[in-house]
Amino acid sequence: MTTVALMWEARAVPGRGAELLAWAREQRLPAEPLRREFLRAPQDRVLIITWWDAEYDTELPELPEPDGELVMRAVHRWRFESVGE
């Protein structure tokens, strides 16, 4: 079994970054990841990384798209596989 990291990044409408972060924290997934981390950056960007014990191509639950009035563009998503330290 490998570790897969799913990254979810969105850019809020200017001035609504805290609201986007709060929305992301409220989202529940049908299964719990090994770990979930919330990050923020300038320009009201929010990044969430979840770690899973799974093979790279396993179907995993992901955060949904937020309401279009909260974000400036579609969410960006990436999937990575751990290759060790």
At 44-68, the pLDDT tens digits run 999 999 999 999 999 999 999 998 8
pLDDT tens per residue, the chain (85 residues)?
Answer: 799 999 999 999 999 999 999 999 999 999 999 999 999 999 999 999 999 999 999 999 999 999 889 999 999 999 999 987 7
Residue 17 phi, psi (nearest 5):
-60, -40
- What is the reported pLDDT for 67? 85
**Domains, in order of start, for the chain:** 3-81 (3.30.70.100)
